[in-house]
Structure 1
Amino acid sequence: MKMSHQSKKHGIELKPGTSIVGKWHNKRYAIIKKLGNGAIGSVYLCEVGGKRVALKISDKSMSMTMEVNVLKSLQKVQGKTLGPYLVDVDDWVTPHGHVLSFYVMEYLRGQSLSTFIKQNGNTWVGVFMLQLLDDLAELHKAGWVFGDLKEDNLLILHSPPKIRWIDVGGTTQIGRAIKEYTEFYDRGYWGMGSRRAEPSYDLFALVMVFVKLYYPNQFERGSNPETAILSRIKNVAPLRPYLPCLAKAIQGKYQSSAEMKRDVEQILNSPKPTSKPVLSRKRRKQKASILVESTGISLIALFYYIVSLILP
């Protein structure tokens, strides 16, 4: 659920087939379908010149201008593609004479983070943590905080798998009050920090993004919110190795994304324990026994199996 007066949804309802013609640039966008409602407007899949794009439209012109400025700032970050690529900015005069603001972005095709992890395995959790921390570090360097960081605002693109942001509506300049947030990801809701825009605010939300993968129905904060979160992390095997750094992020102990990234990298690069000697030897014994009894294995093959049992 969205909170704060800025985050009430202002849906603009447009039927498929509707044509949006820019007042200033005269580009015509044909509505295909609605993709969703944001905090200050609606996003539609459109077609222009045979190409598909995402168009966000709203009656909140000042808020839209702020979002456009954020997108422009993100495009100036060297060597990084943070937000969607901005295609066009214009106004539309409706048949009833109302003026609505809109901007057009590249349309990104991909999967949700939870769907990707389910299909491709938990080993990707650490990879996407690092990618997100990398991107957040660049965003913070540019003077912004994501603010409304949650799974709904992320998409996994393929070839190679890459996490991308698809809605920067909550992005806030560092030092200001967070303008848009969602309770479950908001440290203020959990009583674990302020709603001041700073890197640690995003890092708290990052933890909750990965927690929610394994608790899709969410959970209550209870009388001890920190314990409620950390106990859930401990109960999830894929998250347990990251508990030390996730706990630090929840507690606001990281000053930057780079600090957290170093800790995550250390965990990913640490040697994994193995139980190969005992289990694999037992399996080899069973396999050798079955082969000898059921297939009349040759003495040479049996010799190699005996050697494999002796050698690690």
Structure 2
Amino acid sequence: MMEKTNLHSKNQAFNLPAGTKWTGKWNKNPYKIIKKLGNGATGTVYLVETRSGQRAVKIGENKLSLTSEVNVLKAFSKVRGNVLGPSLLDVDDLVWKGEVYPFFCMEYLEGETLLEFSRKRGTEWVPVFIVQLLGDLDRLHQEGWVFGDLKPDNLIITGPPSRVRWFDVGGTTKQGRAIKEYTEFYDRGYWGLGDRKAEPSYDLFAAAMIFIETAYPRRFEKTSGTAGDRSLDLLKRYIANSAPLLPYKKVLLQALKGQYPNAQIMKKDLMQTIEHHTSRQKSETPSSPNRSKAAARPIQKKKKLKEKPSYRTEIILTASFLFLSSVLYFMGQWM
């Protein structure tokens, strides 16, 4: 009976109502809850009001449950030009109804998830976001970590200018250890295409699955009992049946097979593919009509043509913009 009472008491910190106020036990910083943002495996995240504006706070059951995330966020803060995850602002304890709960305060990232953004504005944006993501993953891997639970729900598009960021690092794991949190669709173990060892190729598999998912209106599932080569054949079909994915087939398959040793090489291949795809689209653009033929057309028809924009031209311009953005971002990574 005592254990049930204690468990119920612990859960109180995960259901704090809007308007709840508290002051950190050690650092004495005041907080006021605006709303709950979501629940995770290691705690609950709230949007809060602080002295310096709106921030996000994650409250856990015990210190060990949050230690890994705090360490990751601290590691991010040491990376030059950190854009990897939210900035860590405070680490303290909350005393609530006689119980002590650890929490940390971080930057509040506002925006849309990657899937929401791509489905509203088009999949043409996806390659450049994956380029950005791979650059961030490379930095994370160089620090000795693997993201682990990499999925669209943990990626948010901030801006302008549009930029992919991640905001939940609860699944981040030290390289060489077993992945502690994962979501089946993005997990190579689920597809029978690798183990759950924390290494760069694990994250790159997930990045490829995110890319594939953006091309479909809903997440698909593997057939019962499908694993290994049969899983790969299934994913190949999904890539081949999608026009936005087909140009990136080679890069995606290499990531799915675990053939990339690091994110930087995958990023380079993806950028080269973007360049090739953009150049090819430009070469396929129909040439301008002959002036004499255009002049011979009725004036009304001419106006009609002007009013109707070329969809292909818009796609090519968008692709050119994405490639230029990728190049600028790539150059920035090395400055």
Per the normalisation by structure 2, the TM-score is: 0.80
Return the alpha-carbon distance in structure 1 between the equivalents of residues 116 and 178 of structure 2.
32
* One-letter code aligned to 1:251: K
Deviation at 1:73, TM superposition (A): 0.7
Q: Distance in 2 between matches of 1:248 and 1:47?
A: 45
Q: In the TM superposition, what is the alpha-carbon distance from 1:167 to its structure 2 partner?
A: 0.6
C-alpha contact (below 8 Å) 1:146/1:171 kept by paired residues: yes
Deviation at 1:290, TM superposition (A): 2.2
Q: Deviations over 1:256-300 (max 9, x none)?
A: 10111111011111222444346x5399947742228999xxxxx
Q: Which residue of 2 aligns with 1:44?
A: 46
Which residue does 2:83 correspond to in 1? 81
Partner of 2:182: 181
**For residue 269 of structure 2, what is the aligned residue in structure 1?**
263
CA distance in 1, matches of 2:302, 2:188: 63
Q: Which amino acid aligns with 2:128?
A: V
In 2, the alpha carbon distance for the partners of 1:120 and 1:265 equals: 21
In structure 1, what is the equivalent of residue 254 of structure 2? 248
Post-superposition shift, 1:68? 0.4
C-alpha separation in 2, matches of 1:142 and 1:284: 63
Q: Retained in 2: the 8 A contact 1:75–1:81?
A: no
Q: Give the aligned partner of residue 231 of structure 1.
A: 237
Structure 1 residues 16, 267: closer, same or farther in 2, change over 3 A? same
- Displacement, 1:44? 0.3
In structure 2, the CA distance between the partners of 1:38 and 1:241, relative to structure 1 (3 Å rule), is same
Q: 1:282 to 1:38 in 2, by over 3 A?
A: farther
Change (3 A) 1:272 1:293: closer
Task: Note if 1:276 corresponds to 2:278.
Answer: no
Deviations 1:229-268 (A, max 9, x none): 1211222211111110000000001101011111101111
Decide whether the 8 Å contact of 1:200 with 1:256 is kept in 2. Answer: yes
Counterpart Cα distance in 1 of 2:292 and 2:95:
75
Matched residues in 2 for 1:190 and 1:171: separation?
Answer: 21
Distance 1:13 1:91 in 2: 17
What SS does the corresponding residue of 1:178 show, helix, strand or coil?
A: coil
**TM-score for both structures, normalised by structure 1:** 0.85
Report which stretch shifted further, 195-204 or 285-294: 285-294
Look at both structures and tell me which one has the larger radius of gyration over its CA atoms: 1
* Aligned match for 1:31, one of 13, 30, 33: 33
Instruction: Report if the CA contact (8 A) 1:187-1:204 is conserved.
Output: yes
Output the CA distance in 2 between the equivalents of 1:283 and 1:149.
54
- Structure 1 counterpart SS, 2:219: coil
Q: Which runs of 5+ in 2 are unaligned?
A: 1-10, 304-335
The separation in 2 between residues aligned to 1:98 and 1:56, in whole angstroms, is 16
- For 1:294 and 1:145, the matched residues in 2 are separated by 57
The 1:282–1:28 alpha-carbon spacing in structure 2 relative to 1, beyond 3 Å, is same
Residue 167 (structure 2) aligns with: 166
- Name the residue aligned to 2:123: 122
In 1, Cα distance between equivalents of 2:51 and 2:14: 23
Partner of 2:219: 218
- Gaps in structure 1 of 5+ consecutive residues: 1-9, 296-312
Q: What is the distance in 1 between the residues matched to 2:28 and 2:302?
A: 79
Q: Pick the structure with more helix per residue.
A: 2
Q: CA RMSD in A?
A: 2.2
Cα offset for 1:85?
A: 0.2
Letter in 1 for 2:275: N
User: Quick check: 1:147–1:179 contact (8 Å CA) kept in 2?
Assistant: yes
Q: In structure 1, the residue corresponding to 2:298 is in which secondary structure?
A: helix
Q: Is the 8 A contact 1:34 1:44 kept in 2?
A: yes
CA contact (8 A) 2:23 2:29 kept: yes
Bigger drift between 206-215 and 255-264 goes to: 206-215
Q: Which amino acid aligns with 1:276?
A: T
Distance of aligned partners of 1:281 and 1:75 in 2 relative to their CA distance in 1, 3 Å threshold: same
